[in-house]
A = this chain, B = another copy of it.
Amino acid sequence: MARLPEYLRALHVLAEAGNDTVSSEGLAAAAGVNSAKLRKDLSHLGSYGTRGVGYDVALLIDQIEFVLGLTQRRAVALVGVGNLGHALAGYAGFASRGFRIAALVDADPERVGEEINGLVVRHIDELTRIVAEESIAIGVIATPAGAAQSVADQLVSAGVTSILNFAPCVLSVPEGVDVRKVDLAIELQILSFHEHRKASLTGLPATGGSGLTALPGGLAGPGTQEAVGS
């Protein structure tokens, strides 16, 4: 499940706060989910909770880290050390949550040789050797959209089987390779949509929650808005 990492983070917070055990209710609150959902998720791990008491925090952390494959630190390759790549290379959250950025790679010869956070940027032509040397299974793409597909192809042919893509484009990869996409602008656009919806609702009569916005007549669109209220 995609929620396990969130539980894991919440558990670490609780552990550092000195809690030995935690109830499903408490952990659910810390992770921001429903307690029944959390119990069902954990039960899929064949989990160890004690009725009347709760879950052993340390044990549960071990269980989840095992399921997530975080028992040993995973090496990742970061391709593209532009604006975003720089930040990702220096992001402490990766190191503290089970990952090690093992290689920085870029196609621009100007950038090759630069040292970021104790790691030297290498050229993307070396990718296959780097991936093999460092046993890298996960690649992160932080390039412009135009280069992303080519980079993905090179990552896959170098042996990477999971890709985290920050470029705003869809990647096509062979079966067996997992891709997750993070598009920062899309997140903002979704918020913008909610803003627009809220603004449309303000002071308008209820439309029965029929759809996406509060516009009468089913979303007429720009330029076709009519007077409201009668």
Please list the residues of chain A having a beta carbon within 8 angstroms of any beta carbon in chain B. 1-2, 4-6, 8-10, 13, 30-32, 44-46, 62-63, 65-71, 74, 76, 83-84, 86-88, 90-94, 96-99, 137-138, 140, 161-164, 168-170, 176, 178, 180, 182-199, 211-213, 217-222
Contact = CB atoms under 8 A, between A and B. Distances in A.
Contact of A180 (B4, B8, B191): B191
A184 B184 CA distance: 11
A188 B87 contact: no
Identical chains bound together, number: 2
A67 B98 contact: no
A192 B74 contact: yes
Top-6 shortest CB links A-B: A69-B196, A87-B87, A32-B170, A5-B189, A162-B191, A97-B185
A196 B67 contact: yes
